[in-house]
Amino acid sequence: MVKRMFFVVLFLSSASLNAGVYRWVDAEGRTHFGDRPPAQIAPTELVTKSDSSGPNSTDRNRQQKINAFLEQKKKEREAQQAASAKADQQAVKLAARCRKLNARLKYMDSISTFYNLNDQGERVFVSESENKQIRERFQNKVQGICGR
């Protein structure tokens, strides 16, 4: 269907390009030009030269600018899609990390006290104030990363 419409438009435009140009002078002495000769006055048909060499340099220049613009927009669109995909990947990674941190935070709530291992591998339990500081530091870390 598109090809058929293209050929119809092409045929009609070529017919109008081959139409003659007429010149005539009216009763008041004014010169007129038109694509159809007037009925009352004898017109003179003018010979027009068509440029059969193809589009002129202005048309080529305009087409090059359009092509460059379209190519630039395509590159911008691709860059935007790549940035969006990267942001989506980072969001997925952050969500997974936050799930792990929140699970660890929940586990810390179930522990009554923390300990360190000494050089002999024995447990040395921390004081209540150190226990509180460890919990607060970890909660601040989770809040800083996950915003919760």
pLDDT in tens, 40-63: 777 676 666 655 555 677 888 999
Q: Provide CB contacts within 8 A for 84, sequence distance 6+.
A: none
pLDDT at position 82: 95
Q: Judge contact between 75 and 87, C-beta under 8 A.
A: no
Amino acid making up residue 123:
R
More reliable by pLDDT, 8 or 3: 3
Mean pLDDT over 102-122 rounds to 90
pTM of the model: 0.47
